[in-house]
């Protein structure tokens, strides 16, 4: 039954493979928690059992966000069972999830980004990596969007690319001048490495599409090699892109479109980052903002 539900939401909601994998794990946890009952008869799960499941996840030390996703998966699963008349009620409809801790994403300063992408080596993979990092920061891409970007979807003449984001939604993103130059340098090398049928923009030394894990490892490698004093992951470049564009323009709606956020509430977290930047400037610049002895 779980597989039928996942097949259903994959088609109906265009769920990404990562979200599907998360839902599969969450529903497996629910099945294990309810191992004392016949899990083919989900109607035996009561609201009390649903609340106990949420409590057990918290006891295991899961984050608020992970618990929210598990309850969302369970709630959606029971809605599906209810529509198909396999249960009479949805026990998760009254089970509330803990509120998420609003953690602000970590970002790099402009100087840190410049240091990271200032790769001077001429080895093929170094040229590829510089092009990847330039494109990340230039266009605010998600890791999956960069890995899945195919060569025909890149238009260097018009400095743009068409990427596929969450829910299989496509959007066009601008590609900055430095990213265009870095990609142009990479393309002749890619031609030598990639197989004849390979469409991916970024490939491995063996010529196949690069994996998300490989991208993460390469960015961590360059962060250390370039002397950055902080751990760097691909999404940090996306956060930095959004923060720097918002700081310069103040155009929240434009940043929302560039990032491919469905709701502007998701983008609004960067306004908090922008305020933190302004607060730091104020603390340094305003003569009566500095802490000191009162005389």
Catalytic residue IDs: 142, 166, 235, 238, 261, 270
- Give the CA distances from residue 11 to residues 4, 20, 42, 104, in Å, rounded to whole numbers and listed in that order: 11, 11, 23, 33
Strand order in the sheet with 154-155: 154-155, 160-164, 170-174
Query: Can you read off the two tokens belonging to residue 122?
Result: 């001429």
Pairing of strands 154-155, 170-174: unpaired
Helix or strand (DSSP H, E) at 171: strand 170-174
- Cα–Cα distance, 16 to 144 (Å, whole number): 10
Classify residue 203 by its DSSP letter: B
Q: Residue 162, Cβ neighbours under 10 Å: how many? A: 14
> For residues 169 and 178, is the Cβ–Cβ distance under 8 A?
no
User: Helix H segments across 84-161?
Assistant: 110-117, 124-139, 143-147
Query: Rounded CA gap, 104 and 116, in Å?
Result: 22
Angstrom distance (rounded) from CA 219 to CA 136 = 11
Say what angle helices 252-259 and 269-285 make with each other, to 10 degrees: 130
């Amino acid at each position: 039954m779980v597989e039928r539900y996942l097949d259903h939401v994959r088609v109906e909601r265009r769920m990404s493979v990562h979200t599907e994998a998360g839902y599969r794990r969450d529903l497996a946890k629910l099945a294990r928690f309810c191992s004392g009952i016949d899990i083919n008869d989900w109607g035996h799960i009561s609201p009390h059992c649903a609340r106990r499941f949420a409590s057990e996840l918290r006891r295991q030390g899961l984050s608020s966000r992970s618990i929210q996703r598990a309850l969302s998966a369970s709630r959606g699963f029971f809605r599906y069972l209810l529509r198909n008349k396999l249960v009479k009620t949805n026990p998760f409809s009254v089970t509330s999830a803990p509120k998420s801790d609003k953690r602000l994403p970590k970002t790099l300063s402009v100087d840190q980004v410049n240091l990271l992408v200032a790769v001077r080596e001429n080895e093929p993979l170094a040229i590829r990596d510089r092009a990847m990092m330039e494109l990340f920061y230039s266009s605010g891409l998600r890791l999956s969007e960069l890995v899945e970007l195919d060569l025909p979807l890149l238009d260097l003449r018009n400095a743009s690319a068409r990427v596929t984001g969450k829910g299989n939604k496509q959007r066009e993103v601008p590609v900055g001048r430095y990213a265009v130059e870095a990609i142009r340098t990479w393309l002749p090398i890619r031609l030598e490495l990639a197989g004849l049928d390979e469409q991916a923009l970024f490939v491995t030394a063996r010529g196949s599409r690069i994996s998300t894990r490989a991208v993460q490892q390469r960015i961590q490698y360059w962060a250390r090699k370039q002397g950055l004093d902080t751990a760097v992951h691909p999404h940090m470049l996306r956060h930095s892109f959004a923060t720097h564009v918002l700081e310069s323009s103040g155009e929240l709606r434009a940043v929302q479109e560039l990032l491919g956020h469905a709701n502007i509430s998701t983008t609004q977290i960067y306004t908090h980052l922008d305020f933190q930047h302004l607060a730091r400037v104020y603390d340094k610049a305003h003569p009566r903002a500095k802490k000191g002895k009162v005389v």
